Amino acid sequence: MKKVLTKEEVLHVADLARIEVSDSEVEKYQEELGKLLSDVEQINMVENYDDERLIAPWTEETKLREDSEGTMLNPKEVIENAPRRAGNYIAVPVVISENESEGA
Amino acid sequence: MTNYLEKSVKEINELLKNKKIKPIDLVNEAFERIENNSELNAYITLNKEEAVKKAIELEDKEVDNILFGLPIAVKDNIVTKGLRTTAASHILENFTPIYDATVVEKINKNNMIIIGKTNMDEFAMGSSSRTSYFGAPRNPWNKTKISGGSSGGSAVTIAANDVLFALGTDTGGSIRQPASYCGIVGMKPTYGRVSRYGMIAFASSLDQIGPMTKNVYNNALLLNVIAGHDDKDLTSSRKEVEDYTSLIGQDIKGKKIAIPNYFVSDIVSKEIKEKLENVIELLKEKGAIVDYVDMKYLENAVTLYQIIAMGEASSNLARFDGIRYGTSYEDPNGIYDLYVKTRSNGFGKEVKRRIMVGSYLLSGENAKIYYNKALAIRDDISKEFKKVFEKYDYIIGPTTTTTAYDLTDPMDDPSKSFMDDVLSIPVNMAGLPGLNLPIGTSEDNMPIGMQIIGDKFTEASIYQLAAFLEKEIDFCGGVKYE
């Protein structure tokens, strides 16, 4: 079964993935994503399965670790790894613009 | 150049103990070898200064274990404190971790010496290491061929005799497949046997770190070091760590071995099947019982893998946002723009494609249609394996369907890299241990490998069969295991 994505669908998944797709790339992605999604459509050919199961790759009982003192990452080093810093803080660009904050 | 690194680990250990050589001799030799083989492009970052420093520090220490002072290469998606770790991606091109992965702590504790970080597919997404931002490694058997992937650099540096030990990671075959293409031994341990803390996650329910070496004995020695429970990885098992060398040297008479018919179907090349048949004859001759079995769902494994791996990857790679670490877009117009521009510039084509497909597969109702269904069928695959292991000790088959192909082969089919792993993926789906053992070469002199699969936590028994065959099969003039 060949799956075809519309241009809008490609732009939607690109947005979900926070990846930019230029006008010139849309067609290429329509084809490539369509190919991969056609592959995964084959899952609908599989019969005799029960999809109400809850499964995890891990079957051992999980235990909480002991509540004890341990070493943690050095906050200074953590901050220093950030591309933008302001003193002891990690800096980010404007999250809500002035217009948005006024409810525009 | 000295040739200590061509000796067995036991011989080297004796030389160190008797002060005939020092760790620095091994480090210098390793770097000389890597330098001579630089066109193989096996490394992204060399750790020369620190390795030399550590080797000199070790001169005052007692040789307290068999791996003491031995150089080791680490795949570049395993974080190393103070040593650049890129996952072969532009987005982490200048990233220096501030902590060590648990496996790195363990190899440091055993006084092994990290020699450098090996080349790989970007974020381990690929099967030829050609998606690396730093260019593809080359196969030492034929430099115009791919190394396989994603742990291509680790496989190459072992095959080229640069070092005796390397770490790789395996999500769908990324240890076993390059091991097969480069003619070395690579083990993907049981899911949960080795801590994943500090491995840059690709598909968390499938990822596993494992040893890559020239021979079976060395492989078991390295697993001895890296295996074990870790509070920092809740999926790591509390099951006790065995001595994985303990069964090496024992006979395999009476062992029951199953070969799934799918593993010897038309998808596998004729010469690989022939080499496997030779092994089967040998096993029978030595008293093993070999049967062909039918297993359901194996042919669906690649589809399940595509859904699970791309879905989990899209979630795992959401952390690369240009804010906390890694490269970041210089002049963003607001935060959304920062995310989008950083990621679009930072990720390569293959990674972007997989994240987008993964986002689609997990979005809204699709999660139920695809991901949940894939998990359910994945459970069925596990049950199929379980059934076989009620009657058999091992499952064997080829590791790959072909030998290593040309570096210049087209990369335009997005399904190709998944199909390269068609025989290794089922093992990850079921969380089982699997090992590649070289069993011969093709007409064009490229290595052929077989896969030995065991039930969960039977690594010691896998090494037993692998070491037995290693001794019997004349690969590369034969390898000694001790």
SS3 for B181-241 is HHCCEEEECCCCCECCCCECCCCCCCCEEEEEECCHHHHHHHHHHHECCCCCCCCCCCCCC
Residue in A33, A66, A94 nearest the CB of B356:
A33
Place of tokens 């589809």: B303
Place of tokens 């020369």: B48
Whether B335 sits inside 8 A of A49 (CB atoms) is: no
Residue B273 confidence (pLDDT): 98
Instruction: Work out the burial of residue B310: count CB atoms within 10 Å of its CB; fewer than 13 is exposed, 13-18 middle, 19 or more buried.
Output: buried
Q: Is there a contact between B236 and B195 (Cβ–Cβ < 8 Å)?
A: yes
Alpha-carbon gap, residue B227 to B218, rounded angstroms = 14
Token digits for A30?
């329509």
Among the listed residues B75, B117, B188, B255, the single catalytic one is B75
Token digits for B430?
């079921």
Cα→Cα distances A53→A58, B302, B373, Å: 14, 21, 9
Residue B214 confidence (pLDDT): 95
B442 is catalytic: no
Touching B: A residues 2-21, CB under 8 Å: 9-10, 13-14, 16-20
CATH number of the structural domain B4-250+432-472: 3.90.1300.10
Token digits for B76?
């570049």
B315 is catalytic: no
Domains of chain A with bracketed CATH = 7-45 (1.10.20)
pTM summary value: 0.96
Look at residue A9 and give its three-state secondary structure: helix
Alpha-carbon gap, residue B420 to B444, rounded angstroms = 19
What's the angle, vertex CA A36, arms to CA B375 and CA B267, rounded to 5?
Answer: 80
Residue A51 confidence (pLDDT): 58
Alpha-carbon gap, residue B7 to B133, rounded angstroms = 35
pLDDT tens-digit series, residues A37-86: 988 888 888 776 665 666 666 778 777 878 888 888 899 999 999 999 99
Alpha-carbon gap, residue B128 to B105, rounded angstroms = 29
Residue in A32, A55, A62 nearest the CB of B414:
A32
pLDDT tens-digit series, residues B169-218: 999 999 999 999 999 999 999 999 999 999 999 999 999 999 999 999 99
Token digits for A75?
């906050």
Residue A48 confidence (pLDDT): 62
Contacts of A81 in chain B (CB under 8 A): 95-96, 98, 324-325
Instruction: Work out the burial of residue A47: count CB atoms within 10 Å of its CB; fewer than 13 is exposed, 13-18 middle, 19 or more buried.
Output: exposed
Residue B279 parent element (H or E): helix B270-285
What's the angle, vertex CA B268, arms to CA B266 and CA B270, rounded to 5?
Answer: 90
Contacts of B302 in chain A (CB under 8 A): 39
Residue A96 confidence (pLDDT): 80
Residue A50 confidence (pLDDT): 64
A84 to chain B: nearest residue by CA? B323
Token digits for B236?
């790591």
Whether A17 sits inside 8 A of B380 (CB atoms) is: no
Alpha-carbon gap, residue B81 to B72, rounded angstroms = 16
Mean pLDDT value across residues A10-21: 96
Contacts of B310 in chain A (CB under 8 A): 36
Which of B299, B360, B378 would best serve as a mutation to test chain A binding (most A beta carbons within 10 A)?
B360
Contacts of B325 in chain A (CB under 8 A): 81-83
Residue in B304, B334, B373 nearest the CB of A94:
B334
pLDDT tens-digit series, residues B308-319: 999 999 999 999
B150 is catalytic: yes
Q: Is there a contact between B345 and B379 (Cβ–Cβ < 8 Å)?
A: no
Chain A and chain B share a number of CB contacts under 8 A equal to 151
Which long-range contacts link A67-76 to residues 24+ away (Cβ below 8 Å)? A73/B98, A73/B99, A74/B98
Q: Is there a contact between B195 and B228 (Cβ–Cβ < 8 Å)?
A: yes
Residue B480 confidence (pLDDT): 42
Cis, bond preceding B150 (omega within 30 deg of 0): yes
Whether A90 sits inside 8 A of B374 (CB atoms) is: no
ipTM of the complex: 0.89
Whether A81 sits inside 8 A of B337 (CB atoms) is: no
Which of B79, B125, B191, B357 would best serve as a mutation to test chain A binding (most A beta carbons within 10 A)?
B357
Alpha-carbon gap, residue B59 to B21, rounded angstroms = 10
**Confidence check: pLDDT of A1 > 80:** no
Asked if A85 is an interface residue toward chain B (Cβ–Cβ < 8 A), one would say no
What's the angle, vertex CA A31, arms to CA A27 and CA A37, rounded to 5?
Answer: 135
Alpha-carbon gap, residue B88 to B137, rounded angstroms = 11
pLDDT under 50: residue ranges of chain B: 478-482
Q: How far is B114 from chain A (nearest CA, A)?
A: 22
Contacts of A60 in chain B (CB under 8 A): 192, 237-239
Cα→Cα distances B188→B185, B303, B416, B436, B451, Å: 10, 21, 22, 9, 11
pLDDT tens-digit series, residues B439-477: 999 999 999 999 999 999 999 999 999 999 999 997 865
A53 to chain B: nearest residue by CA? B376
The region, left, alpha or beta by phi > 0 then psi within -120 to 50, assigned to residue B382 is: alpha
**Confidence check: pLDDT of A28 > 50:** yes
Residue in B96, B328, B343 nearest the CB of A19:
B343
Asked if A92 is an interface residue toward chain B (Cβ–Cβ < 8 A), one would say yes
B308 to chain A: nearest residue by CA? A40
Buried b (16+ CB within 10 A) or exposed e, B189-213: bbbbbbbbbbbbbbbbbbbbbbbbb
Q: Which residues, 6 or more positions from B449, have their beta carbon under 8 angstroms from its beta carbon? A: B176, B179, B180, B181, B183, B398, B399, B400, B436, B437, B438, B439
Asked if A57 is an interface residue toward chain B (Cβ–Cβ < 8 A), one would say yes
Whether A39 sits inside 8 A of B359 (CB atoms) is: no
Among B99, B97, B102, CA closest to B86 = B97
Whether B340 sits inside 8 A of A18 (CB atoms) is: yes
pLDDT tens-digit series, residues B421-448: 999 999 999 999 999 999 999 999 999 9
Question: DSSP letters along B5-62, please?
Answer: GGS-HHHHHHHHHTTSS-HHHHHHHHHHHHHHTGGG--EEEE-HHHHHHHHHHHTTS-
Residue B268 confidence (pLDDT): 97
B203 to chain A: nearest residue by CA? A57
